[in-house]
Structure formats: C-alpha cells, structure tokens
Amino acid sequence: MPFFDALFIFIQKNMSKITVFNFTTLNGYYKGAKEDISWHKHGKEENKYAEKALQSGNTLLFGRVTYQMMESFWPTPMASEMDPVVAKGMNESNKIVFSTTLKKVTWKNTTLVKTDLVTEVKKLKKLPQDITILGSGSIITQLAEHGLIDEYQVMIDPVALGKGEPMFKGLKHPLNLKLIDSKIFKSGVVLLCYKPIK
C-alpha cells in the first residue's frame, strides 16, 4: 500500500466519530411544547442501553437549551437516587456546550465554546475522542448540513404529539441514510441506527 494511502487510513481511524443519540415521537419531534420530554418511555432496557453508551467515555456535546435542561437535573441528589449509574456517567463525562449567550457553565467537566460551531467541530474531529450529541436539534441540523455527523441513533417512541420541534428543523438539503442496526424494546420503543450515505 502506498505511504500516503496508509497515512490517510491511519488518520481516518484516529479521527473522532460524531454520533447523534436522540429519542423522537412517531411524527418526528425530539421535544414537545415547552421543552417537554416526559412522553419518552425510558424503561429498564432503555436504561441499560444508556448506561452502556455512557461507559464508552465519549465527550458529550450540547446546545444551550439541552445543556441547561440536563444541567438542572443530572447533578442533583434526585438524579443520583433515581438513576445512579447514568447520573454518574453524565456527571463524570467531559462535556462541551456551544452557546453565544451563556456567560459561564457550572456543571462539572464542562467546557463552554462561543466560537463558530462548524469550525470548532472540524477541529474536534481531528482528535482521537469520540463525541455524542444529545438533544440539541439546531446543532444536529448545522452539522448534518456540513457532513460532520458519522452516525445517527434514534429511539422512536410509540407516541405522536400535536406540537413539538423536529430534530432536523431547518434542514436545507436531503440527508440520505443507510440503516446499519436496529433494536426493539419491550416498551414499544424502537432504536434505529443510521450512517449517512456520502
């Protein structure tokens, strides 16, 4: 194998993988009116899946709204009592929040980034640290438009809402995906894993 081909493969293997992990309603909303996510059926099986995912040590990436929602719950004693393994994973994970309006962050292991999202994520992808995006629909749309997301893991709940916000709100170009894995939970939630077709 020519040297530059081998070098390209090495770099690709050591670049970070960016994965979206979100749950949505059957009609495509990742959050309902007034940021409501109480409709998500998060049972024991889904919990085990979340625990396993957090053990991977991925850096978590958020937009401001999702960050503030997560930060208001996971560091609390209530979260530790309700879901100790996931709470520990969330609190100990390295976290990045993109926001031009937040002045500071208080959640442990969180870095606030105020500069251009796409530019900074391109830099992050050159580091050997995988990244998971939670919630953060506007960030998903922007990064999807630039081809920076490597995998989409979507939990679809057996519920439809009258009002909400779609995960790909404002997407300007078609996003063609290939199904690479799926899982059905006893609750009726279906996990679908996709990779972009480039």
- Domain positions in the chain are 16-196
Dump pLDDT digits (tens) for 9-61: 333 445 689 999 999 999 999 999 988 888 987 778 887 877 777 766 789 99
Mean pLDDT of 151-173: 93
Q: Is the pLDDT of residue 3 over 60?
A: no
Dump pLDDT digits (tens) for 76-94: 999 999 888 888 889 999 9
Lowest mean pLDDT among 69-78, 80-89, 108-117, 168-177: 80-89
Mean pLDDT of 150-168: 94
The tokens describing 20, both together, are 């979206």
Mean pLDDT of 160-164: 94
Dist CA 104 CA 29 (whole Å): 29
Q: What percent of the chain has pLDDT over 90?
A: 66
Residue 110's contacts (CB-CB under 8 Å, 6 or more residues apart) are 67, 71, 95, 96, 97
Q: What percent of the chain has pLDDT over 70?
A: 91
71: helix, coil or strand? helix
What are the distances in angstroms from CA 144 to CA 17, 42, 68?
A: 13, 26, 23
CATH for 16-196 is 3.40.430.10
Q: Is the pLDDT of residue 5 over 60?
A: no
The overall average pLDDT reported for the chain is 87
Give the global pTM: 0.86
Alpha helices in 55-187 (DSSP H): 64-71, 77-82, 84-92, 117-124, 137-145
Q: Is the pLDDT of residue 6 over 70?
A: no
| Confidence (pLDDT) at 14 | 53
Dist CA 12 CA 198 (whole Å): 15
